[in-house]
Structure 1
């Protein structure tokens, strides 16, 4: 019987690649997605579709009530989503306080309950400058804590922690993944806006890989 792992799966291209990487490594994958009160739930619909296609055990957990405690982000509050590349100072408005620690804690609890050996998530080097909870020191510290927080040790794995989104896409394309099954845009409209930081970084990754993004954009 294959060892179990839990994958935190947002429905975006990074976690989609992580999900498929875990499957191709032969693990019995259990996916968990979180509704944390983000501006839209479109990416969760993509996550649900992919898990149904692959017959992956998938839970969508509503933790939107935490917005009573953690606010001030353009992803959860009535704040304009900034446009432009991630490296610009304005992109810090997309930080959701303590998001990854909250999600990892819940995913580790799930892993313990189903006797899974690890929790995977899609932090990568492109996020380091903006998001403190995607940095190596955070992941290492969480990994240390999650090995002792329960009777059963759970490892926190971020396979692309030292990689860029360009590298992640390159790996996914080598696995013949279809990125039409992902949603990245911060705006939940019919088509991706192409202007927000998430879209800009995604488009750059496809351009650097000499590949056309299969999703539709407004412009």
Structure 2
């Protein structure tokens, strides 16, 4: 077996027999994290959260993917906390801003403390099933707008989760230093089908093509010389 074949085999088997929890929203980034971890041999346990997001269509997409691939999906309804995390265009009656993620207007899509809330619950789930880690899909493109997607946050959460229970749980964000363009390139190399994802913040029948999430997605496909398989209004 050549070195290249050895490397591929090692990548596919490094997680063999080991459990991990994946925070899985149904979007491109978490879909890639989920499918990559599964390809690496981990026993994946996806968990999604209904926190009152207007684009709840993503949760149905996530459930469908898990059913297709036989993953033990958990959908947790925490929508009762929506009044406590107000002020975001993703949960309130505020127009979803259009434009690129790096524009200041995209701060309207920040949901207060969202990742800390979801990670805390996912860690509890990991402890209960004997999983070694919680994965989530933060990446470098999120850093400009979302404080809870930055490297300093991930490192701090990981440190806390080493001591928060008798069983330490790792917090892993495998794409924290990479862009959505990089994530898509990795996913395409794995042969992933991105028609199995939902990205748009507006949650309509088709993707709007104008919100920051759609703009970043379309940019990633264009720069990978690939065609986005989902339908858009524009």
TM-score (norm 2): 0.93
* Residue pairs, 1:9-20, within 5 angstroms: 9-20=24-35
Partner of 1:146: 161
Q: Which runs of 5+ in 2 are unaligned?
A: 1-15
**Alpha-carbon displacement from aligned partner over 1:180-211 (angstroms, at most 9, x marks no partner):** 00000001111100000000000000000000
Q: Does 1:79 align with 2:119?
A: no
Distance 1:5 1:87 in 2: 32
Q: Which residue of 1 aligns with 2:85?
A: 70
Q: Which residue of 1 aligns with 2:203?
A: 188
CA distance in 1, matches of 2:172, 2:204: 32
Equivalent residues in 2 for 1:1-219, closer than 5 Å:
2-219=17-234
- Secondary structure, counterpart of 1:5 in structure 2: strand
Deviation string for 1:108-129 (max 9, x for gaps)?
0000000000000000000001
Deviation at 1:40, TM superposition (A): 2.8
| SS in structure 1 of the partner of residue 86 of structure 2 | coil
Tell me if the contact between 2:55 and 2:200 (Cα under 8 Å) persists in the aligned partners. no
Note the alpha carbon deviations across 1:57-85, whole angstroms, 9 max, x for none: 10000001111211000000000000000
Higher alpha-carbon deviation: 200-209 or 33-42: 33-42
Q: Could you tell me how far 1:212 is from its partner in structure 2?
A: 0.5
For 1:194 and 1:20, the matched residues in 2 are separated by: 25
Equivalenced residues, count: 219
Q: Matched residue of 2:48: which SS?
A: strand
Give the drift of 1:15. Answer: 0.1
Structure showing greater radius of gyration is: 2
Gaps of 5+ in 1: none
Q: Please tell me the root mean square deviation across aligned C-alpha atoms, in Å.
A: 0.7
